[in-house]
Structure 1
Amino acid sequence: MKGVLLVNLGSPDSPTPKDVKPYLDEFLMDERVIDAPKWLRTLIVRGIILRTRPKKSAEAYSKIWWEEGSPLIVISERFKQAVEAQADIPVALGMRYGSGSIAEGMEQLQKQGVDEVLLVPLYPHYAMSSFETVVVKALEVREAQFPDMQVTTMPAFGKNPDYLNVLATSIREKLDAFGYDHVLFSYHGIPERHIRKSDPTSYHCKINDTCCGMNSVAHHTCYRHQCYEMTRNIAALLNLPKDQVSTSFQSRLAGDPWLKPYTDYEFERLAGEGRSRLAVITPAFVSDCLETLEEIAMEGKNDFLEAGGTDFMHIPCLNDREDWVTLMAKWVNDWARDGRLPAV
């Protein structure tokens, strides 16, 4: 029997340092997030970061926490329930970090008689620290706890034409009412070395526009290329003028070169150039979370206005929009019927 496991990032159980600390520990100790040797990763995470970061992160989570709980968890559960209502097979939800784990999701499916699972990492793009770590963890869990369960992974879907149309529609609805003079596509940032490590050719990725514009098998796992390609595709669908669109990357850690340009620098640059009405899209995420609701919609807005901008709009993620739910349910049912996966 077939079933589906949707997997998102995860969240602390509450916006308190007590609950944020173990969540951050699990997240940052992932070798695909901080890809240093374990002894060094342990020193960085447990010897430095976890001494101060939980309190600061808890304060940030407190700003966005909903009465029902973590926005990412609440939205993911709503999405799962909506997809399940249209799907022909059982649907479960798991989180890569924190409560509601991948193992719990697989166990729920197993109890319903499922022995063939479609794994759906809820990330539009491929990156070591998002898509890849979900797949690796899911396969480890299956090997250790569910050896008779077959797992098929849905590929990163950021280039799928139907997905791009749904995303463009959600953006258009907000832009039409805003009167923007610039649209910033802000993606989750990753270290530059992750791009090189994900390059199957070991030589293609130079992390510049030249290599991203060339045809290469490396693009299947190149996060930078996929982000710039998404900006280009969405801008074309929306007929956005080239001089009113740019791409940036947020949420970096100090000490290493991360993908550029940095979003906070872009806020200052755009305001300094006289762009007064800024719309910001965060298309690396399908669900609003700390990075979209606090870092962009709150802190980013303050940064832009303090730099001289006058109006700022964060365009929400797809969350549990009906057209996004319907598309995911279609992908699920296509796979359940004949094993077909979405075109990418």
Structure 2
Amino acid sequence: MKGALLVNLGSPESPDPKDVKPYLDQFLMDRFVIDVPFLLRALLVRGIILRKRPERSAAAYKKIWWDEGSPLIVLSKRMFEKVKKQVDIPMELAMRYGQPTILSGLQKLHDQGVTEVLLFPLYPQHAMASTVTIEVLAEELRAKHFPNMKFTKVPAFYNKPDYIKNLADSIKKQLDTFDYDHLLFSYHGIPERHIRKTDVTKSHCKINGSCCVTPSPAHQFCYRHQCFETTRQVVELLGIPKEKYSETFQSRLAGDKWLEPYTDIEINKMPEKGIKKLVVVTPAFVADCLETLEEIAMEANHQFKEHGGEEFLAIPCLNDSDDWCKTVAGWINDWNKK
């Protein structure tokens, strides 16, 4: 029997520091997130970051927390329930960090007699700290607990026509009601070394002006290329001229060189360039979360206006929109028919 497991990032149980701390520990101690030797990672995370970060992160979570719980969890569940009604196979929802766990999701599918699982990371672009960590953990759990289970992995869908249309339609819906000067595509940042580590050619990814537009097998796993390609296809579909949009990367950690340009720095420069009405979309996420609701819709909005901006619009993620849920269900049903 076939079944599907949808996996998103996850969230603390509450915005209280006592719940945020173990969540951050699980997240930051992931070897695919901070990819340094264990002892160094433990020293960095548990000896330095977790001393102050939980309180700061808890304050941020409190600003966006809903009565129903974490926005990311609530929205993921809403999407899951809509998709579930449109497919004919068992489905479960899991989070890479926090609850519900990947193990619990696989166990529930196993208990229903599922032997073939469509493993579906809910990330449009491929990255070590998102897609890979889900696939590796799921495989470890499968080997240990469900040796007779078989996985089919959903690859990054950054350029799939249905996804591009859903994203473009969601942007157009907002742009039709907003007289904007500029559209910013803000993607989640990753360290540059992650790009080089996922380069299957070991030589193509120079992280310069040409590698991401020069055809290469590296693009199958290159987060930077896939971000740029998502943008290219969306603006082409919407007919947005080059001077009206740009791309940046947000949410960097100190100490490493991350993908540039940085969202916060670029947004703060925009008003002096004559950009007074800014629209920001965050296509690295399919569900609104801390990075979209607090970092962009609140903090970036505030900073933009502090530097002379006048109007700011953060476009919601696809969340549980009917078209997006129909697309996800369609992909699952197509796989089920094979």
Look up the match of 1:109.
Answer: 109
Look up the match of 1:171.
Answer: 171
CA contact (8 A) 2:158 2:229 kept: no
Look up the match of 2:62.
Answer: 62
Larger displacement relative to structure 2 (263-272 or 4-13): 263-272
Q: Are residues 1:125 and 2:125 paired?
A: yes
SS in 2 for 1:6: strand
In the TM superposition, 1:1-344 aligns within 5 A as 1-338=1-338
Look up the match of 1:342.
Answer: none
Deviations 1:77-118 (A, max 9, x none): 111111000001111001000110000111111121111100
One-letter identity of the residue aligned with 2:115: D
Deviations 1:188-224 (A, max 9, x none): 0000000000001111100012111100000011101
Deviation at 1:146, TM superposition (A): 1.1
One-letter identity of the residue aligned with 1:60: A
Gaps of 5+ in 2: none
Deviation at 1:274, TM superposition (A): 1.1
One-letter identity of the residue aligned with 1:23: Y
Deviation at 1:269, TM superposition (A): 1.6
SS in 2 for 1:209: coil
Q: State the TM-score, normalizing by the size of structure 1.
A: 0.98
CA contact (8 A) 2:2 2:116 kept: yes
Taking the aligned partners of 1:85 and 1:208, their CA distance within structure 2 comes to 45
One-letter identity of the residue aligned with 2:66: W
Aligned pair count? 338
CA contact (8 A) 2:188 2:250 kept: yes
CA contact (8 A) 2:170 2:318 kept: yes
Deviation at 1:16, TM superposition (A): 0.5
Taking the aligned partners of 1:162 and 1:77, their CA distance within structure 2 comes to 21
Taking the aligned partners of 2:323 and 2:282, their CA distance within structure 1 comes to 18
Taking the aligned partners of 1:71 and 1:43, their CA distance within structure 2 comes to 31
Taking the aligned partners of 2:330 and 2:131, their CA distance within structure 1 comes to 21
Taking the aligned partners of 1:279 and 1:110, their CA distance within structure 2 comes to 44
Q: State the TM-score, normalizing by the size of structure 2.
A: 0.99
Taking the aligned partners of 1:76 and 1:56, their CA distance within structure 2 comes to 25
Taking the aligned partners of 2:42 and 2:90, their CA distance within structure 1 comes to 39
Taking the aligned partners of 2:314 and 2:108, their CA distance within structure 1 comes to 36
Taking the aligned partners of 2:140 and 2:269, their CA distance within structure 1 comes to 44
One-letter identity of the residue aligned with 2:216: S
SS in 2 for 1:86: coil
Gaps of 5+ in 1: 339-344
Taking the aligned partners of 2:218 and 2:169, their CA distance within structure 1 comes to 29
Identity between Structure 1 and Structure 2 (%): 60
Taking the aligned partners of 2:137 and 2:22, their CA distance within structure 1 comes to 18
One-letter identity of the residue aligned with 1:292: T
SS in 1 for 2:296: helix
Deviation at 1:23, TM superposition (A): 0.3
CA RMSD in angstroms comes to 0.6
Taking the aligned partners of 2:113 and 2:82, their CA distance within structure 1 comes to 21
Taking the aligned partners of 2:110 and 2:271, their CA distance within structure 1 comes to 53
Deviation at 1:275, TM superposition (A): 0.2
Taking the aligned partners of 1:250 and 1:130, their CA distance within structure 2 comes to 15
Deviations 1:273-304 (A, max 9, x none): 01000000000000000000000000010010
One-letter identity of the residue aligned with 2:94: G
One-letter identity of the residue aligned with 2:135: V
Deviation at 1:141, TM superposition (A): 0.9
One-letter identity of the residue aligned with 1:295: E
Deviation at 1:75, TM superposition (A): 0.6
